Amino acid sequence: MKKFSVLRGVAAPLPMVNVDTDKIIPKQFLKTIKRTGLSEGLFYEMRYDEAGQKLDGFVLDTPPYDKAEILIAGENFGCGSSREHAPWALLDFGITCVIAASFADIFYNNSFKNGILPIKLPQSDVDALMADAQDRENPELTIDLVAQEIRRPNGAVIRFELDPFRKKCLLEGLDDIALTLQTEAKIDAYETQQGRTTPWLVRAQPE
């Protein structure tokens, strides 16, 4: 998982509440377990008509937001099913930070596990950042995870709270597998000891 420290990038405004995971990535794109190529299905029903032709005007298809790395969203973002393809699709597009007043719990947890920083803020702060993002002339924000600060184009700073363990994982690029491998030596020692004391429980290794 890529490390997250300081991000300076374009913020795209998506002032919609209750954006569920089926809207983020519809069910027909869930056939793959690959994490690449899913950006084509990101917000598909808002970007394409029934014939598969691209619609005009969707925010992520219009400059400068087609290069967005930050998404400013409405409350209860990521509700609905627990599909992990939702953060995968956002990440494949290039979005590594989502800011909203609230998130669905499963989406919130899945985001951290895939290198996306979801930031919860009071609605008044989200509204201010939404206004910043809607300014096409200068929609850039700086997200400083180390300092836990969002720096706005006008120089103002908004602080955000974050669980220390999740912060550590993002800073060090640790997903669940990488966290497990940090104790690899202890796991190997346990398996060796287990093989000595209870050899009947140890499966024969294939030749």
| CATH label of the domain that carries residue 127 | 3.20.19.10
Whether 128 is covered by a domain: the verdict is: yes
Q: Count the domains in the chain.
A: 1
pLDDT computed for residue 145 by the predictor: 98
How far, in whole angstroms, is CA 113 from its chain's centroid? 8
CB-CB contact of 71 with 103 (8 Å): no
Whether 190 is covered by a domain: the verdict is: no
**pLDDT tens for residues 90-132?**
999 999 999 999 999 999 999 999 999 999 999 999 999 999 9
Return contacts of 119-124, CB within 8 angstroms, 24+ apart.
119/143, 119/150, 119/160, 119/162, 120/160, 120/161, 121/158, 121/160, 123/75
pLDDT computed for residue 125 by the predictor: 98
- For the whole model, what pTM was predicted? 0.87
DSSP assignment letter at 9: E
- Which residue segment(s) compose the domain that 42 sits in? 6-173
**pLDDT tens for residues 177-194?**
767 766 667 777 777 777
Whether 168 is covered by a domain: the verdict is: yes
**pLDDT tens for residues 130-176?**
999 999 999 999 999 999 999 999 999 999 999 999 999 999 998 77
